[in-house]
């Protein structure tokens, strides 16, 4: 059974710092991995989707990498800003015809 | 346009009430999802519709009844709920459930449900 783990559970950094969020999964046979952002009490915003054949995806200050063989993905946030404060969730699709399996998230706080 | 809309934003209901949550997307997606999210927890899948047919039911109690009237709309009918059903209910859509590699999910803002 696929399990997704995110470390750390919470992270506090000063504005301007570059940071890395980690996601690991137990079964390397995945179709894709998706990173989301969630603000308190709000829905999820899709940040990046990495297909199984891809190694990384970039969007603005965000870069996500995928290493299927080791069961790991990282989300790199450059030059963090207070507006980046949110919970970041990673999720994997392990089987066609099934839905995503989520990690518990990393709550990020960026102070000005 | 990658927008999924949900109504209402907030809902308070008693245990004997019947209410419905609505979700709409106009991205031409053929898979639509209902998730339940409790505070400080990740979303939990409830139902998945693929091409307007129920594809996945994660053993959800019958007091929750999903409906997909057409490819753009998804409803969740609620009846005789319990206080522990209070949560954020999220709707999502994606292009095609079976096109797993490309199946990016887009979420709506959610409905905050309180059961008294």
Residues in chain B within 8 Å Cβ distance of A95: 100
Whether residue A66 lies within 8 A of chain B, CB to CB, comes out as: no
What Cα–Cα distance (Å) separates residue B37 from each residue in A36, A51, A74, A112, B75? Answer: 14, 26, 24, 30, 17
Check whether A99 has a pLDDT greater than 90.
no
Whether residue A5 lies within 8 A of chain B, CB to CB, comes out as: no
Task: Provide the edge-to-edge strand list for the sheet that holds B73-79.
Answer: B4-7, B18-25, B73-79, B64-70
Q: Look at residue A9 in the predicted model and tell me its pLDDT.
A: 95
Query: Which of B50, B56, B100 lies closest to A93 in CB terms?
Result: B100
Check whether B97 has a pLDDT greater than 90.
no
CB contact under 8 A, B101 and A46: no
Closest residue by Cα to residue A69 from A83, A90, A91, A52: A52
Check whether B101 has a pLDDT greater than 90.
no
pLDDT in tens, A41-81: 899 999 999 999 999 999 999 999 999 999 999 999 999 99
Q: Is B84 exposed, middle or buried (0-12, 13-18, 19+ CB in 10 A)?
A: exposed
């Amino acid at each position: 059974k696929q399990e997704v783990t995110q470390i750390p559970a919470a992270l506090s950094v000063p504005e301007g710092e570059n940071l890395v969020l980690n996601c690991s999964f137990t079964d390397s046979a995945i179709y894709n991995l998706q990173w989301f952002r969630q603000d308190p009490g709000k829905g999820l915003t899709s940040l990046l989707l990495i297909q199984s054949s891809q190694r990384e995806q970039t969007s603005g200050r965000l870069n996500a990498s995928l290493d299927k063989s080791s069961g790991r993905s990282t989300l790199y946030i450059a030059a963090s800003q207070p507006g980046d404060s949110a919970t970041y969730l990673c999720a994997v699709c392990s089987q066609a015809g099934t839905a995503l399996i989520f990690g518990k998230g990393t709550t990020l706080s960026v102070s000005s | 346009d990658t927008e999924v809309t949900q109504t209402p934003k907030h809902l308070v209901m008693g245990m004997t009430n019947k209410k419905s949550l609505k979700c709409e997307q106009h991205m031409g997606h053929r898979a639509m999802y209902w998730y339940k999210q409790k505070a400080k927890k990740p979303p939990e899948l409830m139902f998945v519709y693929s091409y307007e047919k129920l594809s996945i039911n994660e053993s959800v109690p019958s007091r929750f009844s999903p409906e997909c009237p057409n490819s753009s709309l998804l409803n969740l009918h609620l009846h005789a709920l319990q206080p522990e059903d209070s949560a954020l209910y999220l709707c999502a859509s994606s292009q095609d459930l079976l096109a797993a590699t490309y199946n990016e999910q887009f979420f709506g803002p959610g409905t905050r449900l309180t059961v008294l």
